[in-house]
């Protein structure tokens, strides 16, 4: 930050986050920013520009969030609805507008269009769209950390950032958590087995190259169940409402994000490939292990609590299952495995090279 630009510290009461994106993961990755703003600018009111309707469910539990402006998906195909929403946003003169992303031309255009006393974002070049342009080097690697680094930089006018980051959050109510726990109990009762071990949820879907083939998951599940025979397993069924695990396990499906989150919160462990539902699990507080093979681990890995992501590389489903069990066992007070049980053949991944544990 240039020395003549004052840090943004006081007098901030109306905040707008400009993140027009419809994806579940990207929406959830904004929740640490909201936690940071609530702590830094206590008493402020936050509006959010998003796309689609999913953001309303994600941010419903945040007391500071007043309005979520949901632009229509593919908004240029719906110009009247889009312009109507933009005119609504322009009625408010914000104290602070935040463009939290790197390289989103649409977000930057909206930031320039809307009314704000201070406008912050990432740019290595001077731009009229921003009053405070943070260098890209400030952003950092993880998507959940970048907006926080931006706000801290703008508030403190320094080049370094704190090591603590708020975790993802969806703020389920007590009733939602109780209902989720009830669903988990009912699913376990349907198996006619006494619950003796942990309840493990598996989500077997992802997009494109992030997806593991069915045979890989069958290998994974055979080892997981064979090594932890007393564990109760639930499949979290994806949006297309078809089992990815051959319907071998009790399954839960919901098109409602908060209901799915409530069920995830009732698990002891959630295992999934890198996807938006991985971030949903992380946001509920359940121990979440993310499996990576195509995307950057240090950019998207679940962090906070006992969450972890690791690169499976070319590992088999069986070896990956043993690694998952080892990592989960390390988070528990009582051991899951007897000493005689074989461990994963691959060496434990180091955080800098193949694993990411957050805090």
Q: Tell me the sheet residues that pair with 304.
A: none
Beta strands 355-357 and 45-51, pairing class: unpaired
pTM of the model: 0.90
Radius of gyration of the chain from its Cα atoms, rounded to whole angstroms: 22
Domain 14-156 part of CATH 3.40.630.10: no
| Predicted local distance difference test score (pLDDT) of residue 347 | 40
Domain regions of the chain by residue span? 14-156, 174-357
| Predicted local distance difference test score (pLDDT) of residue 319 | 97
- Residues 3-22 have a mean pLDDT of 87
Cβ within 8 Å of residue 21, ≥6 positions away: 27, 50, 51, 104
Q: Tell me the sheet residues that pair with 357.
A: 308
| Predicted local distance difference test score (pLDDT) of residue 36 | 96
Q: Tell me the sheet residues that pair with 251.
A: 235
Coil/strand/helix, residue 20: coil
- Tell me if 14-156 shares its fold with 174-357: yes
Q: Inform me whether the pLDDT recorded for 266 exceeds 70.
A: yes
Q: Inform me whether the pLDDT recorded for 187 exceeds 60.
A: yes
Q: How far apart are CA 77 and CA 261, in angstroms?
A: 32
Q: How far apart are CA 271 and CA 291, in angstroms?
A: 8
Phi, psi of 144 (to 5 degrees): -75, -20
| Predicted local distance difference test score (pLDDT) of residue 74 | 67
Cβ within 8 Å of residue 288, ≥6 positions away: 269, 270, 271, 272, 278, 281, 282, 302, 307, 308
Beta strands 287-292 and 269-273, pairing class: parallel
Q: How confident is residue 345, by pLDDT bands cut at 50, 70 and 90?
A: low
User: Mean pLDDT, the chain, as a whole number?
Assistant: 89
Q: How far apart are CA 16 and CA 118, in angstroms?
A: 10
Q: Inform me whether the pLDDT recorded for 1 exceeds 70.
A: no
CA–chain centroid gap for 192, Å, is 34
- Residues 259-284 have a mean pLDDT of 98
| Predicted local distance difference test score (pLDDT) of residue 356 | 46
Model pLDDT for residues 195-251, shown as the tens digit of each residue: 578 999 999 999 999 999 999 999 999 999 999 999 999 999 999 999 999 989 999
| Predicted local distance difference test score (pLDDT) of residue 338 | 62
Task: Report the length, in residues, of the chain.
Answer: 359
Q: How far apart are CA 162 and CA 165, in angstroms?
A: 8
136, two tokens: 């890209």
| CATH entry, 174-357, from 1.20.1070.10, 3.90.1300.10, 1.25.40.10, 3.40.50.2000 | 3.40.50.2000
């Amino acid at each position: 930050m240039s020395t003549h630009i004052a840090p943004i510290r006081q007098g901030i009461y109306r905040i707008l986050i400009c993140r027009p994106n419809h994806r579940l993961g990207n929406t959830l990755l904004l929740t640490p920013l909201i936690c940071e703003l609530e702590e830094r600018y206590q008493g402020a009111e936050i509006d959010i520009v998003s796309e689609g309707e999913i953001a309303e469910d994600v941010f419903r539990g945040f007391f500071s969030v007043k309005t979520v402006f949901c632009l229509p998906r593919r908004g240029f195909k719906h110009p009247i609805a889009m312009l109507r929403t933009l005119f609504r946003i322009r009625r408010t003169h914000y104290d602070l507008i935040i463009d939290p992303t790197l390289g989103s031309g649409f977000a930057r255009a909206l930031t320039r269009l809307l009314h704000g006393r201070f406008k912050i974002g990432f740019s290595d070049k001077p731009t009229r769209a921003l009053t405070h342009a943070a260098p890209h080097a400030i952003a950092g690697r993880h998507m959940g950390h970048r907006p926080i680094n931006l706000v801290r930089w703008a508030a403190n006018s320094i080049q370094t950032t704190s090591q603590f980051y708020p975790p993802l959050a969806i703020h389920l109510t007590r009733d939602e958590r109780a209902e989720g726990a009830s669903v988990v109990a009912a699913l376990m009762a349907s198996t006619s087995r006494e619950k003796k071990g942990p309840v493990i949820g598996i989500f077997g879907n992802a997009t494109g190259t992030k997806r593991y083939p069915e045979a890989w998951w069958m290998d994974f599940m055979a080892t997981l169940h064979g090594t932890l025979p007393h564990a109760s397993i639930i499949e979290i069924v994806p949006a297309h409402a078809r089992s990815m695990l051959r319907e071998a396990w009790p399954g839960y499906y919901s098109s409602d994000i908060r209901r799915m989150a409530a069920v995830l919160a009732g698990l002891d462990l959630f295992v999934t490939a890198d996807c938006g539902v991985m971030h949903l699990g992380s946001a509920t507080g359940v121990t979440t292990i993310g499996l990576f093979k195509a995307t950057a681990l240090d950019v998207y890995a679940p962090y906070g609590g006992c969450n972890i992501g690791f690169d499976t590389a070319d590992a088999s489903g069986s070896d990956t299952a043993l690694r998952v069990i080892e990592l989960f066992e390390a988070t528990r007070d009582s051991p899951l495995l007897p000493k005689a049980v074989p461990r994963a053949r691959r060496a434990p991944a180091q955080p800098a090279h193949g694993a990411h544990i957050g805090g």
